[in-house]
Structure 1
């Protein structure tokens, strides 16, 4: 038991893993998908933070007290502003979390937006790409680089490995049993465990968690990947862990409907930042329905109450310019449409132009006088000009987030039903309940992942190193078959300095709370496989690529290369649908909007089958 095991490679799990390394521990990340990222990569608006350097630089007079009040009001659905202890941890650690991302990983979070229920602009993002994807991939690539540079003595990553059971001895969690999906083997890893497996918003099975707590939502689509089936919650419950607020499942008002697939079960999400930039929600008659910057439960409720589908999210020229990257991305995926002016929108709606023009004129007056019948207080990018261009998307309510989950304490420790900690077990991210109460604020999911990833990572590292110093751990287990140990280690304790030094078997001492020195590589686990050797590439033209567009034969051209993604469809972090949109086409422009240039070479070189005839070659 010489490591901490993190189950789940999304932002919460990766934040925990990096924190463990910073505190002098060793870590093994188990991820059941082929790639890390999870739902964190889908977050489209940003990460909240109060009293950050970015806010101060921009003159935003926010405070932790105001953020705490906003959080508590949302958590109680407006019935109370009394915060919980977990609310306090979330808010008070928000600025340090944002600064950690900026300072430790060099991330650009220089832009601020205001989302629903926020008293000030506090949602941080960069200039391009989805912030969830940028943040999570950066932590993932940094973790990969540590493994690449230093071998597996400090950090390990086991993909396609699904945790199935927590191992407990004398009341303490000492490891996890998992299925290696690639080989079919059941293996074990030993060490204290952090559960960071996400929620259960894709568990549509008849006997699943969603059916048992919110069967009334089963008919709705979801924004979640199919991996979100409540695995971590179920494992913790088997050990007697408590749960809280399972019935509070957030329905987001702006799932993006592709007109070509109106009944799709999995939808992309329209970033709440689009409404923060001034986007309006209009019904099928071209009329506003609510305060567009109200809480998610309120906006969804107003849409459902009026029942005037299809609803549309409408961005004026000025609003679209502020969040141009998102609009171009959604348009490229067929989820948003460009209109030269408001008259074209009226034609699509089947209403007179004067009716839409009056709606926009009334809104301009409301923005000027700050007197909105729906109570809206913040207006961006007004006035709106009927003669200028617009971007418009069809939207519908969609299952988005599970507020409920495992009961945890302020340090991320998992609690029993009687509120007692389960030694050696911690949790972070969406799988942990009680952080957001009955309703989550937009921009606080990424924050939750980073804050409680760091909190649980610090707690688990302390638990590990304290156990070592107290002699509870004397060396790696002799059984397990997971390759979890890098070899014997020794420990020295200096009580006068309150310092623990761990030698992980390579001669380099690691001090609790310090940065770990480079270590010698350890033998790879059976779950870790070498990358395939490069193969000879053939040359194809676009006519040939265009012939491969079926589910069992999909080619895509990207940056002068031809990719056969048939075997990759189910592994793609963005889902199968994201690839099928570009089947048989050159997807270079859309690819480059989302990805780093070397992502295919690094993570899926086997899909590269050739070069594109006549194209300028570049590294993917």
Structure 2
């Protein structure tokens, strides 16, 4: 009798394939979820609307937060998950879902290690606005050669790892690009798949044992009936740093299924997006990485004066630009096309700290920065008295050198001050729509919940498609962190639930 039971158990494992999870969205959250599922023994069908994976994650430039990592320890930086949690709640005005923030912070060091384990060199740490200590891990800039953007390298390494797994076990991972989700399929109260349409217009259904939405935010959804129009009418005229694919499809489709939305009107305007002198009025802007200010870049207005703490929260710095920096005329580097704008200043020392190859991409390839031999040349280009810019730099240098109290409340002064007599590099920056803090409400297991607060069985979500983690304002470096932490949680939860369900049916 015992041998018969053993035979039955073995045959059950042979006959029942490990569950398949459908992941929609090929950004960092989607790839993190996919790798987690496959690592635990499951299968993944990854649906991506564009012709390749990456999304906005590939454009991320400032890095990923980690609190209490071994990298910080080696650099002598004292940090903890509790401190990251505190900074995240402070940045979000305590509107955050506190349970999710705690999970985010407690898993941050492991998230950094997860990426290092797939070959991402995150051994440099930067200080971004709103942080108490340096904790934004990014890739050290090479002394020469091409720079390696953090987001691009992260996505490349994860995709490489998934490709390696697929070569060894083709059944474990299937990628469908240029395939857009049009609906979510639910049967007998459980989500079992998605309806899709190919680039050729062919409609089909993809079914599995669970679905994970990792479709991103809605920062480019400007249509008349789009989510930006519905929740952010007053900011529609701002440019965006997002690709045109950020249309909030996951949010809209899940809402039609009864999913609860949270924080939808919380849309982040990033204070520093470059104005391209060749096309100042372009609606899509290239992000001026927060790491630039983290390495000592200053912001002045067109009058030649500082107007705020360069390392303040993103919403604070945006307000300061809108209230204390008027539009810049065409006579200075092509102007800002009527938008309120600041001038970002860098010196040779701050450039070296940021990474010269990365800076050269901005300055030489993109031509965002212009070099001036001293503050007098810069002042002349701005059309202001030379003494104004000189006084601005001298005052800041005095605060920096003598550790005086900054009138704008700046507490940390990276690298060095800029001297009026040294070469100064200047670029025009403007606020731009960057991130949507709102989205689908999830619980601590990354399950999407309905309007009554009950989990929608079989449906999970991670990344910018969700809301609650960031509150009213996202802390720089927390977007990639959220994608890894909750992407992995969604992968684990979705696969585990599907496996239990399939085995209970035996």
TM-score computed with the length of structure 1 as normaliser: 0.74
| 1:82 CA drift (Å) | 8.4
SS in 2 for 1:347: helix
**Which fold has the larger relative contact order, with Cα–Cα distance below 8 Å and residues 6 or more apart in sequence?**
2
- Match of 2:254? 236
Match of residue 141, structure 1, among 153, 160, 175: 160
- Match of 2:360? 328
- Match of 1:315? 346
> Pairwise mapping of residues 555-570 of structure 1 onto structure 2 (< 5 A)?
none
Task: Give the Cα–Cα distance (whole angstroms) in 2 for the partners of residues 358 and 272 of structure 1.
Answer: 25
Q: Is the 8 A contact 1:278 1:379 kept in 2?
A: yes
Residue 114 (str. 1) matches residue 145 (str. 2): no
| 1:137 CA drift (Å) | 1.5
Which has more helix, going by share of residues? 2
> Pairwise mapping of residues 20-169 of structure 1 onto structure 2 (< 5 A)?
20-76=37-93, 80=94, 84-103=98-117, 105-128=118-141, 129-151=148-170, 153-169=171-187
Q: Is the 8 A contact 2:272 2:429 kept in 1?
A: yes
- Match of 1:435? 469
SS in 1 for 2:312: coil
Q: Is the 8 A contact 2:297 2:346 kept in 1?
A: yes
Residue 214 (str. 1) matches residue 232 (str. 2): yes
- Match of 1:418? 452
Task: Give the Cα–Cα distance (whole angstroms) in 2 for the partners of residues 241 and 116 of structure 1.
Answer: 33
| 1:378 CA drift (Å) | 0.4
Task: Give the Cα–Cα distance (whole angstroms) in 1 for the partners of residues 162 and 253 of structure 2.
Answer: 26
Task: Give the Cα–Cα distance (whole angstroms) in 2 for the partners of residues 81 and 276 of structure 1.
Answer: 26
Q: Which runs of 5+ in 1 are unaligned?
A: 473-620
Task: Give the Cα–Cα distance (whole angstroms) in 2 for the partners of residues 423 and 325 of structure 1.
Answer: 48
Task: Give the Cα–Cα distance (whole angstroms) in 2 for the partners of residues 370 and 435 of structure 1.
Answer: 36
- Match of 1:579? none
Q: Which runs of 5+ in 2 are unaligned?
A: 1-17, 142-147, 329-341
| 1:318 CA drift (Å) | 0.9
Task: Give the Cα–Cα distance (whole angstroms) in 1 for the partners of residues 322 and 83 of structure 2.
Answer: 30
Relative distance call for 1:146 and 1:239 in structure 2 (3 A) is same
SS in 1 for 2:23: strand
| 1:466 CA drift (Å) | 1.0
SS in 1 for 2:129: coil
| 1:343 CA drift (Å) | 2.8
| 1:286 CA drift (Å) | 1.0
| 1:144 CA drift (Å) | 2.3
SS in 2 for 1:166: strand
| 1:350 CA drift (Å) | 1.5
> How many residue pairs get matched?
466
Task: Give the Cα–Cα distance (whole angstroms) in 2 for the partners of residues 83 and 374 of structure 1.
Answer: 30
Task: Give the Cα–Cα distance (whole angstroms) in 1 for the partners of residues 166 and 442 of structure 2.
Answer: 30
Task: Give the Cα–Cα distance (whole angstroms) in 2 for the partners of residues 457 and 82 of structure 1.
Answer: 23
Match of residue 292, structure 1, among 288, 310, 319: 310
- Match of 1:358? 391
Match of residue 455, structure 1, among 489, 493, 502: 489
| 1:216 CA drift (Å) | 0.6
CA RMSD of aligned residues (A): 1.4
Q: Is the 8 A contact 2:25 2:215 kept in 1?
A: yes
- Match of 1:497? none
| 1:165 CA drift (Å) | 0.5
| 1:81 CA drift (Å) | 9.3
